[in-house]
Structure 1
Amino acid sequence: MDHYNTRKKGTEYEEMAASYLKDAGYQILARNYRVASGEIDLIVSKDGYLIFVEVKYRSNSRYGSPEAAVTPVKQRQISRVALYYMKRYGYDPYNTPVRFDVVAVAENEIHHMKDAFPYQGYY
């Protein structure tokens, strides 16, 4: 599959995840938030939490679950981008309730893992 089709497929699953979260009462703040050090698929808020969401998709389990693709390296990258976002938009990193979620899409089923991993880094 070429890069264009892979990106198109990824966008479809991110849309599916965003729709799922919106229907569950989350407010979508940003999609595909990019900085030089990485990207966060969705940034949402609900119940006073600022939530950074990684969306993962697998068409089958041959390469493991979608959740398993959120490696410690990816967690650190997401954490760095999250801290940048917070500083950029005026959130206090010490006093803002933050969560890192994973929305896994596998065979058109959505599994939302709240608080999937802790912040990986330093302020």
Structure 2
Amino acid sequence: MNHHYKKGKLYEKRAAAWLTVQGYEILEQNFRCMLGEIDLIARENGELVFVEVKYRSNHMTGTPEEAVTLNKKRHISNTALFYLKTHGKNIFTACRFDVICIDDTGCRLYQNAFEYCGTFRI
């Protein structure tokens, strides 16, 4: 296992713990399928929440927010659709996409960070 992978998993666990304190119920960590991966899947206020966790130790390669590109959003959205279909949900399931950005300045949560990511709306 490489250093970046281990560090990413550490920050995903920290984000899950932080979200739990904020009232989220963590349902799954690191959901994987052939379409991609979703870092955290949770429930909050009756909504299913797909959470992307981004960490940067410095901003030499950009901020964590800048790492959530349109292409990344499409992959997450497609993976979320697969999750919904394989877990007995449908496109009318109340859900949203949150992003947690972590760097040396702290942790920032962006709720409902993206809605429309390509050819479908969840």
Partner of residue 38 from structure 1, selected from 32, 36, 39:
36
Report the number of matched residues: 120
Aligned residue for 1:66? Answer: 64
Whole-Å separation in 2 of the counterparts to 1:114 and 1:77: 18
Aligned residue in 1 for 2:83: 85
Deviation at 1:71, TM superposition (A): 0.4
Q: Is the 1:100–1:119 Cα contact (8 Å) retained in structure 2?
A: no
Report the residue type matching 2:75 in the other structure. Answer: Q
Match of 2:21 in 1: 23
- The letter for the 2-side match of 1:112 is L
Q: Does 1:117 align with 2:93?
A: no
For the Cα contact (< 8 Å) 1:55–1:102, is it kept in 2? yes
Alignment map for 1:93-108 (pairs within 5 Å): 93=91, 95-107=92-104
Q: Which runs of 4+ in 1 moved over 2 A?
A: none
- Shift of the 28–67 alpha-carbon distance from structure 1 to 2, 3 Å rule, reads same
Structure 1 CA distance for aligned equivalents of residues 56 and 65 of structure 2: 9
Q: Matches of 1:21 and 1:102 in 2, distance apart?
A: 11
Per-residue CA deviations over 1:10-56 (Å, capped at 9, x if unaligned) read: 01100110000011110001100000110000000111111100000
